[in-house]
Structure formats: C-alpha cells, structure tokens
Copies of this chain bind each other. A is one copy, B any other.
Amino acid sequence: MARISPLSGFPEWLPEGRAVEHAVLETVRRTFELHGFAGIQTRAVEPLEQLLRKGETSKEVYVLRRLQAEESVDAGEDDLDHKALGLHFDLTVPFARYVLENSGRLQFPFKRYQVQSVWRGERPQEGRFREFTQADIDVVGSGALPFHFEVEVPLVMAEVFARLQQFGVPPVRIQVNNRKVAQGFYEAIGLADVEGVLRTIDKLDKIGPERVLATLQQENGASPEQAQSCLDLASISGTDGSIADRVLALGARSELLQEGLEELVTLVEAAQQRVPGTVVADLKIARGLDYYTGSVYETTLVGHEQLGSISSGGRYDSLASDGSATYPGVGMSIGVTRLVSRLLSADLVRASRSVPTAVLVAVTDEQTRADSVAIAAALRRRGIPTDVAPSAAKFGKQIRFADRRGIPFVWFPSPEGHQVKDIRNGEQVDADAQTWEPPAADLWPTVAPTV
C-alpha cells in the first residue's frame, strides 16, 4: 500500500475523539426532538443546476463523475437521470428540494432536523474544512410562517448549548439582528444598494470601521453622512427595548424599520427571560447570504470568538417555491466539526475510555474460552458492555490489555467462583454474572470536561 498521509480539510478522529463527537451529536439530536423536530436525511448529491442557483457558492462545489462514464457503451447508464451531480455544500438546498418533492406528504409547518456531512472545496484552515458535519433545524411553512418561530429557533439552539456545557463545551453568545431593520434603515436614509451595504457591514470585524466607511462611499454609493449612519447603526447592541430607542435616535423612520425593531426587541426580551445572558441583539450582524428576510443569527463560543460562528441561520421568506406555493422558513445550523475539532484540539472535553467496554472477561486457557464467552454473554444480556480477552496470556498481560483501553473491570472466571477486579484501585470481590453490576457511572463511557 502506498504511503499514507492525511488529506487536508478532511478531519477524522481517533475512537476517543469520535466518542466526544457522538456525545455532542446525541445531545443535539435529543434536544431537537424534545422540541418536536423530526429527523430526516437527504442524499449527499443534488443536480448541479440546483447547487449552482446561488452563483456565489459555485466555487465550492465538488462535481461527481462516474469513473467509467466516458468508456461506457451504454449511453443511458453513464448518466442515468441525464443530470450532472454534485455533493451538497449545505443542508438547506437539499432540504428545500426535499420539501418540494414531498410537499404533498408532509404536514406544515414542518419542523425537521438533519445531521449530515457536507462538502466544500475551499482552502482548509483553522475551523474550516472540506468535509464537515452540520446539524440543522428548520421550521418551514406552506404559504405563511408566523414570526414566533423566529423566537423559537435560536432558543432551541440556546438550550442545546446549555446542555452541552455538561461536557465542558464553553458557554455561547447568540448574536441576533433583523434584516428588516437594516433594510428599512438604509432605505429610509436614501441608500438603494441594500445588499451591497450589508456585504460591506459584514466585513466590519475583519477590515475595521475606517475601511468600511471608505468602502460604503466608494462601492455602495453612500455619502459620508450616510456611511457614518450605517456605522452608527452597526455599533448598537443590547438585550432590551433600549436598542430600538437608540436606533430611532439616529433619525431614520420607515414601516419596515419599525416592524424589524419590534421583532428584534420581542426576540431579545423573550430570550432574556428564558435564557438570560445568552442572546444579544447586535446590529452589525449582517450574514452574507441574500435570502434572509427577517431575523438572522450567529453564535460564538465565549473565549473562542476568533473561531467564527459555530451556529448561524435566519428567516427566509422563500426557502423554495413551486407553481402553487411558496415555503417560508427559519432555521439554524450548528457547525459540529468546527465545534468538536476545537473541543479536541484545545483539550476541553475528554471521553472516559476509548472503548465502550466496561468489563473484560479474562481467559484462563484456550480450552475454557467458552466459559469466558458465556460469562460475557450473561453480562451483555443485562446491558453491560463486555469483551473477552483476545488470548489466554498471563493475567498480568490481560489486565494491561484492559488498562490500556481504560476498561475499568476485569472478570476472573474460575470453577471455584468468579471474581471481578476494579483495576483502578485493585479491589477484587466475588461476583455472579447473573447479578453483579458495575457502578452506574462506569457502565458506559462518559464524556466530561477535562480537569
């Protein structure tokens, strides 16, 4: 086999790292389900024409080709559906297609979650990968979708991250804004290029206020006063109704602005009551994508802000649309791989062992292996993850086998009566495979903050 080396941007974990990822995903999934979101999975591929509808993302797409497509004698086979296929780069495009494809068989509003890999051919860097796992929730309506879902979605995410703190995941700050505020404000002060201004404001943290002011004037048609107003708006943040007062103090007025402010204040005030200190209105949050039409969300890990957002999303008035209906929605996506890679690289979280096994049954000699196997079967029937020593080596070697994997108990079978040893403290007691139980904390591997 050729020399093996990792591929940049395609992260993989050792078993103990995967145990951390799995624990995170189980918590995420369970929290989504507690809130009534149903799980689905979509295929990894979409027709390229669907993936390229947003021109901006085209550079990221991986296109598929069957290796023998050119050589195939059967013209039908190499392109079964007569469509070029690419790997999905997010879970939103496939979900939109799934909703249209199944609209007659789904109940709306449809709340779904989806945990899957996505692929982007970007240059990899810290926290940015070519293959990574996302965990998305979306609520999608048929024709209409009430605003209250824009409050619900970030609060579900706040609950997910609150629960993840048990593993040692740092607290998060969810920054929210409302596209109607920005759009209403820019239009009210006479700026027509709303998209352009948003894109420039989106770079504020990266390029700083001076260059934003310059760009707004050079590229987005703003006067010096208009540019300064945009910057003033972006500087506002808070967790209560005072943010609306400060926006209105800048002088602009419009119906859209008013509506956006009311929504934004409703959101942060509800959040302040239910998850105090987690959700903050931050009017510089712009979100690059042009399909957002209401609330937008970004989430940073406190103390790891430079990692970028680990959960983002927003409201879109048209997730998808066919001849007869439009499907508005609101959703957020967790960048699971970005989060987990930081948890592991910063050694914030650890699994208690690298295998599921709680008990290793020793083997006295190969002639009595069947006895050891029968003990293991009895323990497993009672839900205790158990393995049998791979060889009838000296007991010291079998204990080391367990120790190297973090298996806490070794079982010694004997015709005179079984014993089980806690190899962490050396305590050894008589035991019966029909009744003995490990302490609950040792039954399955646990994932906990690194101490």
Contact = CB atoms under 8 A, between A and B. Distances in A.
A424 interface: no
Contacts of A131: 43-45
A34 interface: yes
A15 interface: yes
A146 B377 contact: no
A67 to B, nearest CB: 5
Contacts of A384: 34
Number of copies: 2
A191 to B, nearest CB: 31
A293 to B, nearest CB: 17
Interface stretch (A177-185, A244-252, A386-394): A386-394
A65 interface: yes
Interface in A19-38: 19, 21-22, 33-38
Interface stretch (A3-11, A227-235, A303-311): A3-11
A451 interface: no
Interface stretch (A101-109, A201-209, A211-219, A426-434): A101-109
A392 to B, nearest CB: 10
Interface string A46-62: 01111011000011111
Interface string A312-341: 000000001110000000000000000000
Nearest to A53: B1
A418 interface: no
Contact of A35 (B83, B98, B380): B380
A67 B383 contact: no
Given A38-B355, A109-B390, A369-B148, A7 B45 contact: yes
A40 interface: yes
A146 B274 contact: no
A246 to B, nearest CB: 25
Residue with the highest number of chain B CB atoms closer than 10 Å, among A40, A67, A112, A270: A67
A14 interface: yes
Given A41-B18, A390-B109, A355 B4 contact: no
B7 A83 contact: yes
B67 A10 contact: no
Given A33-B385, A43-B131, A1 B67 contact: no
Contact of A39 (B19, B53, B386): B19
A377 B274 contact: yes
A34 B67 contact: no
A1 B47 CA distance: 12
Contact of A62 (B34, B65, B109): B65
B1 A106 contact: no
B34 A98 contact: no
A404 B38 CA distance: 14
A13 interface: yes
A4 to B, nearest CB: 5
Given A4-B322, A34-B380, 16 more contacts: A1-B100, A1-B320, A2-B47, A2-B49, A4-B97, A5-B81, A7-B45, A7-B83, A9-B80, A12-B41, A33-B356, A34-B384, A36-B357, A58-B68, A60-B67, A109-B390
15 contacts: A1-B321, A7-B43, A7-B47, A7-B85, A14-B40, A34-B385, A44-B44, A48-B67, A59-B67, A61-B67, A62-B66, A62-B67, A63-B66, A63-B67, A67-B86
Interface of A: 1-2, 4-15, 18-19, 21-22, 33-45, 47-50, 52-53, 58-69, 77, 80-81, 83, 85-87, 96-98, 100-102, 105-107, 109, 111-112, 117, 119, 121, 123-124, 131, 141, 146, 148-149, 152, 270, 274, 320-322, 354-357, 369-370, 377, 380, 383-388, 390-391, 401, 404-405, 444
